Amino acid sequence: MQPSEVVEYNSVIKEDIACMIYALLVLGL
C-alpha cells in the first residue's frame, strides 16, 4: 500500500469511530 492510502484508510477509521461515539452519546441522553 502507498503511504497516502494508509493515511486515507486511517482517517476513514477515525471518522467511523467518531460517528459511533457520537451515536452512543446521543442515544445515552
How do residues 1-12 score in pLDDT, each as one tens digit?
A: 688 888 888 899
- Residue ranges covered by each domain of the chain: 1-29
Percent of the chain whose predicted confidence (pLDDT) is above 90: 52
Cell of 13: 477509521
Residue where the block lists cell 476513514: 12
Q: How far apart are CA 25 and CA 29, in angstroms?
A: 6
Average pLDDT, stretch 1-26?
Answer: 90
Query: Which residues does 1 contact at the CB level (< 8 Å), separation at least 6?
Result: 9
* Residue 13: pLDDT over 90: yes
More confident residue, 19 or 7: 19
DSSP characters over 1-29: --HHHHHHHHHHHHHHHHHHHHHHHHHH-
pTM score: 0.56
Those residues whose C-beta lies under 8 Å from the C-beta of residue 9, and which sit 6 or more positions away, are: 1
